[in-house]
Amino acid sequence: MAHWQLSCFDDSPVMAGSHSGQPKRRYSDKGSASGWLEKRLGNKHRKTPSVSYYYGWLDQGQQCKRYVPVAKVGQVTQMISDRGGVEEILALLKGKG
């Protein structure tokens, strides 16, 4: 019996253990990773819960997180995908507008 799972990159199922259809995971050198983006739900008991986004990164082995305004989520996602540095992303989040 085959075991199916969803790929983490798209909604197409791939066979567990098969490497042919699955995109290769990208790894960064130690100390050069861009971080990640988290989505958090607030007021979960409401009809439409609020959604907040946080940028996360490692600083000397410790997790750090910073709030990302909804208007900048696309820019931060693109910078993470392009392997932008943590300092660049934090500068974007710190800047006004």
Question: Which residues contact residue 2 at a Cβ distance below 8 angstroms, ignoring those fewer than 6 apart?
Answer: 15, 16
Residue 34 pLDDT? 83
Q: What is the structure's pLDDT at 83?
A: 87
Biggest distance spanned by C-alpha atoms of the chain: 55
* Average pLDDT for the chain: 77
Q: What is the pTM of this model?
A: 0.65
Q: What does the pLDDT read at residue 17? A: 52
* pLDDT of 33 over the 50 cut: yes
Check pLDDT > 70 for residue 21: no
